[in-house]
Structure 1
Amino acid sequence: MKLTQAISLTAGFSVGCIITGSIIKQPMLRSLGELTGFGAISLGVIVKLNSVNADKEKQLTAFKQENICLQTKFEKTQNELNKLGKKFQTQDTRQRLHLANIQKLQHQQKVVLATVTTLEQKLDFYEKAASEKPENIKVNLNKNSVLSVTQSQESMTRVYIDGNNLSFAVDGLQIELDYDALRIELSQNASRTNFKYYTGIHSPMNDGQRRFIDYLKYQRYEVIGLPILARPDSKSFKTVGDDVKIAVDIIGEVKKGDDVILVSGDGDFIPVVEEVQRRGVKVTVVAKKSMLSEQLSQVADEVIYLDDIQYKLAKYRKFDAA
């Protein structure tokens, strides 16, 4: 028997007791009926409340399940958006690197064409010399030797690279530097260049450092090795005398008409820059924005930020979208 039926029977029994007790004038029976009726009413109220609570509990459970489903869908959507964002960044990076690669190839083409033109001019000269009389050949060869001496005294773009400073800058930009691309980028407006790379060298030199130096030499950098000593805390190392060596070389080598490109943002080079500027030398500073001394940027004739050309200098690598 269900509880609702029991309540109905109890209510009926209560009414019967109350009516019967009133008719036969039995107070006890009437009181029993009233007490039974009160109990039936109370029980009915309790059942009703329990039913309402059960419905609310079901609704709450359904709401929680729906909320869990919505949360799961939201997380899936968020993951998809993150993947799309990574794909977009990858495509953007790939596009920039492709563009940088094209620019590198275009510049290399210009360099090759210029070299071919120079060789053709030399070939024309030797062909003309060969067609003339022997005594004229001697004269012309002498003239050519004089021309060579004159050319050797022409202005030059001298590039001085603070290896430690550049290394920290590249780490900050989170790229792998293509030193061939760096040489091409800094040689764009120069007819004759000389690149010097200053770096600390361990003693004895390890295999990784030896390969790196061989790679620089292959890319036509003149590598100037300096000693490395442990700092007082013994947890890091310091290259000894690199700034001084760069400054000494600049002062000793640069002449009027030359151009200097200093790859460093160190403010210690300000006196050196000012000195060669007094000789009529243009000085361009190449550095990462956050590592460039404000005073050095004000003294320099031109400033090139590595941040702005990083995609021209980064090694091309294939990217896989997550």
Structure 2
Amino acid sequence: MTLFTEYSYSRVMVFIDYRNIYESVKFLGDDVRLDLYRLTQILVGSRDLVGAYVFDARKRIPDKGDTTLATHDRLRDQGFRVIARESIVFRTEGQIEQKEVDVSLACEMLEHALLNHYDVAIVVSGDRDFVPAIQRVQAAGKRVEVAAIESVYNDECKRAADVYYLIDKMPIMSMSSPNDDMGVDY
């Protein structure tokens, strides 16, 4: 049971931390894929989707074989608004680290809340860094739902959310060939 009246929260915006979800899906196995389009449909349900954003990093000058731009184009073709920061940093272990992406997501979510563009924000990331932004959006009178993969879902993020979803418990995961280039479908 919830204190909120469901019908009064009909305008929804989705904010996806792409790299967080991409890395989280990799923990589930090389052959597991996540369809972001379908995930967004399920999370929004019968409510009105006002906008769906994907936040990611990209290289200023892509290497040969870099699929990031093609991935972003596929997401745009599906209707996502892609915000890609030129801020990829490589660690010594060969893993990618991104800068400015979490701040971009938090700023966009807060700006749209203050401009009254939505009633519900759905954050697709279990990153604790979003807790202050979630709390400020809630203080502005908005509801915040959070969805993430259980194994990397931060407890503070769960507590801050009005509603939280475990993506790996939803019937949207699919198996794919280990030769596919990404762990997330578009």
User: Over residues 128-173 of structure 1, what are the superposed CA-to-partner deviations in whole Å (9 max), with x where a residue is unaligned?
Assistant: xxxxxxxxxxxxxxxxxxxxxxxxxx96211110111100121122
* 2:34 corresponds to 1:162: no
Structure 2 residue corresponding to 1:236, chosen from 95, 99, 103: 95
Structure 1 residue corresponding to 2:38, chosen from 176, 181, 201: 181
Structure 2 counterpart of 1:215? 74
- Segments of structure 2 that go 5 or more residues without pairing to the other structure are 1-8, 178-186
Alpha-carbon spacing, 1:210–1:236, altered in 2? closer, same or farther (3 Å) = same
Checking the alignment, whether the CA contact within 8 Å between 1:187 and 1:193 is kept in structure 2 is: no
Checking the alignment, whether the CA contact within 8 Å between 2:34 and 2:174 is kept in structure 1 is: yes
Structure 2 counterpart of 1:171? 26
Structure 2 counterpart of 1:84? none
Structure 2 counterpart of 1:314? 174
User: Over residues 24-52 of structure 1, what are the superposed CA-to-partner deviations in whole Å (9 max), with x where a residue is unaligned?
Assistant: xxxxxxxxxxxxxxxxxxxxxxxxxxxxx
Checking the alignment, whether the CA contact within 8 Å between 1:178 and 1:315 is kept in structure 2 is: no
Q: Displacement of 1:241 after TM fit?
A: 0.6
Give SS of 2:172's match. Answer: helix
Give SS of 2:33's match. Answer: coil
Root-mean-square deviation over aligned CA pairs:
2.3
User: Over residues 234-263 of structure 1, what are the superposed CA-to-partner deviations in whole Å (9 max), with x where a residue is unaligned?
Assistant: 733321111111111111111456101001
Structure 1 counterpart of 2:145? 284
Look up the equivalent residue of 2:103 and give its one-letter code: V
Checking the alignment, whether the CA contact within 8 Å between 1:266 and 1:292 is kept in structure 2 is: yes
Cα distance in 1 for residues equivalent to 2:98 and 2:37: 24
Structure 1 counterpart of 2:60? 203
Look up the equivalent residue of 1:166 and give its one-letter code: I
Q: Displacement of 1:294 after TM fit?
A: 0.8
Structure 2 counterpart of 1:14? none
Checking the alignment, whether the CA contact within 8 Å between 2:33 and 2:174 is kept in structure 1 is: yes
Cα distance in 2 for residues equivalent to 1:201 and 1:234: 18
**TM-score, with length taken from structure 1:** 0.47
Q: Displacement of 1:192 after TM fit?
A: 2.9
Q: Displacement of 1:205 after TM fit?
A: 2.9
Checking the alignment, whether the CA contact within 8 Å between 1:201 and 1:227 is kept in structure 2 is: yes
Matches within 5 A, 1:50-89: none
Structure 2 counterpart of 1:194? 51
Structure 1 counterpart of 2:128? 267
Q: Displacement of 1:232 after TM fit?
A: 5.7
Cα distance in 2 for residues equivalent to 1:190 and 1:167: 26
Q: Displacement of 1:298 after TM fit?
A: 1.0
Cα distance in 1 for residues equivalent to 2:88 and 2:62: 13
Structure 2 residue corresponding to 1:247, chosen from 103, 106, 129: 106
Alpha-carbon spacing, 1:167–1:278, altered in 2? closer, same or farther (3 Å) = same
Alpha-carbon spacing, 1:232–1:177, altered in 2? closer, same or farther (3 Å) = closer
Look up the equivalent residue of 1:300 and give its one-letter code: A
Richer in helix (by share): 1
Cα distance in 1 for residues equivalent to 2:103 and 2:13: 17
Checking the alignment, whether the CA contact within 8 Å between 2:58 and 2:88 is kept in structure 1 is: no
Richer in strand (by share): 2
Look up the equivalent residue of 1:211 and give its one-letter code: A
Q: Displacement of 1:229 after TM fit?
A: 3.6
- Segments of structure 1 that go 5 or more residues without pairing to the other structure are 1-153, 318-322
